[in-house]
């Protein structure tokens, strides 16, 4: 079969022929229909510091997808041949302290699809049945493939409820954009989105942002304070991975508010913990992965009910072999989510 493979410990990837995967008794073979590209894939492609530390070539990349079940192992009971599935990308062990306490998303022996296990940018992939999700028939393929990052956005937004609350979203990458739609659908009464990329700010408006701010061009603090009767926002959602943005969030959050942080930072962050967290009694939630599978149910409902329409975020589609086009667009910041047709 053909697949996008990270073959070497250097920049770049290859679209090459590889053997089709084989399945064990609890595994499922899936024929991929669509896969989508994540920022992680760009890191792997560009062989950044994180990738050098974490990724071991050769490996097929890709962890967001929709596909059809082609074959099931002897002991598989929960899916059938022909089922249209996506998958939780965090393959957990089921046996560690975290797994046994209901936190499989932070399993101690976590294996990531497309990083530790051959990924979805290929004609076929194989996965243990316990990570599979049967897709709601009302969700089109193009939306089904983006459920994995959509779930990240849900867990960031809904760490606490946002109904009738004021929300600042820092970073309008695809997850920040999903979050904008989710916050709007969940009753946030004011949504402010800040990002230096105007292309993405425009998409955020379509997703429901009431105010969009470009921190490169404006001092965002007084605008946020004015929009909130000088109280600051109730909720900050940090997707940028930028220390300065994080500090702006902490500065403009109202005392007693909460911040959820999903963004990944280049290095240690520096925070005025006294003034911005302790004396303001802020709650901070570190967010990673998704609750398996309660978040998937929510994702499915947001998308199948029409509560969130992610169409403005899905900006491009290419054949799998043209994955480099997608990676380039992402690096240029000239796209939302890029989908690859297998």
Residue count, binding to its own copies (CB under 8 A): 72
Q: Find, among 16, 299, 327, the residue nearest to 134 by Cα.
A: 299
Contacts 24+ apart (CB under 8 A), 95-103: none
Using CB under 8 A as the binding rule, the residues of this chain from 74 to 93 that contact its own copies are: 75, 77-78
The active-site residue, picked from 7, 40, 45, 130, is: 40
CB of residue 180 vs its own copies: minimum separation in angstroms? Answer: 14
| CA-angle at 56, arms to 143 and 148, nearest 5° | 15
Give the nearest distance from C-beta 246 to its own copies in angstroms. 8
| Out of 15, 103, 199, 318, the residue judged to bind its own copies by CB under 8 A | 103
Smallest separation (angstroms) from its own copies to the CB of 28: 14
Based on the shown chain and the rule CB under 8 A, indicate whether residue 164 belongs to the binding site for its own copies.
yes
Per the listing, tokens 């983006």 go with 146
Q: Which one of 10-18, 140-148, 168-176, 180-188 is the stretch in contact with its own copies (CB under 8 A)?
A: 180-188
Identify which of 336, 323, 331 has the alpha carbon closest to the alpha carbon of residue 2: 323
**Does residue 286 interact with its own copies by CB under 8 A?**
yes
Q: What residues numbered 248-277 form the site for its own copies, per CB under 8 A?
A: 254-256, 261-265, 268-274, 277
Q: By CB under 8 A, what part of segment 38-57 binds its own copies? A: none
Q: Does position 282 bind its own copies by CB under 8 A?
A: yes
Burial group, residue 217, by CB count within 10 angstroms (0-12, 13-18, 19+): exposed
Query: Using the rule CB under 8 A, is 192 a contact of its own copies?
Result: no
State how far the Cα of 238 lies from the Cα of 167, in Å rounded to an integer. Answer: 11
C-alpha–C-alpha distance, residues 23 and 192, integer Å: 47
Q: Is 43 one of the annotated active-site residues of the chain?
A: yes
Contacts of 177 (CB under 8 A, 6+ apart): 200, 203, 204, 207, 312, 313, 336
Q: Which is nearer to its own copies, 58 or 255 (CB)?
A: 255
């Amino acid at each position: 079969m053909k697949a996008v493979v990270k073959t070497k410990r250097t920049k770049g990837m290859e679209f090459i022929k590889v053997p089709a995967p084989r399945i064990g008794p609890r595994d499922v073979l899936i024929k991929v229909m669509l896969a989508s590209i994540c920022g992680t894939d760009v890191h792997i492609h560009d062989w950044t510091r994180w990738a050098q530390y974490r990724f071991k070539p050769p490996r097929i990349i890709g962890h967001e997808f929709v596909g059809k079940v082609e074959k099931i192992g002897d002991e598989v009971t929960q899916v059938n041949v022909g089922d249209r599935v996506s998958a939780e990308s965090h393959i957990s062990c089921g046996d560690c302290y975290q797994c046994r306490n209901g936190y499989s998303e932070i399993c101690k022996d976590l294996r990531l699809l497309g990083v530790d296990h051959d990924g979805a940018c290929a004609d076929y992939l194989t996965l243990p049945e316990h990570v599979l999700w049967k897709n709601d028939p009302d969700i089109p393929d193009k939306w089904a493939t983006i459920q994995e990052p959509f779930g990240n956005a849900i867990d960031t937004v809904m760490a606490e409820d946002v109904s009738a609350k004021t929300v600042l979203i820092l970073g309008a990458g695809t997850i920040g954009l999903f979050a904008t739609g989710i916050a709007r659908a969940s009753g946030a009464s004011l949504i402010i989105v800040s990002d230096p990329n105007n292309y993405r700010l425009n998409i955020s408006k379509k997703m429901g942002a009431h105010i969009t701010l470009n921190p490169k061009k404006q001092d965002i603090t007084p605008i946020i304070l004015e929009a909130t009767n000088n109280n600051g926002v109730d909720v900050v959602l940090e997707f940028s991975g930028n220390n300065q943005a994080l500090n702006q969030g902490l500065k403009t959050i109202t005392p007693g508010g909460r911040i959820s942080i999903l963004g990944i930072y280049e290095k240690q962050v520096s925070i005025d913990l006294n003034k911005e967290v302790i004396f303001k009694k802020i709650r901070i939630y570190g967010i990673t992965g998704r609750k398996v599978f309660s978040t998937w149910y929510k994702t499915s409902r947001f998308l199948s009910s029409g509560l969130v329409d992610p169409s403005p975020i899905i900006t491009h589609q290419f054949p799998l072999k043209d994955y480099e086009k997608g990676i380039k667009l992402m690096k240029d910041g000239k796209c939302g989510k890029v989908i690859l047709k297998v």
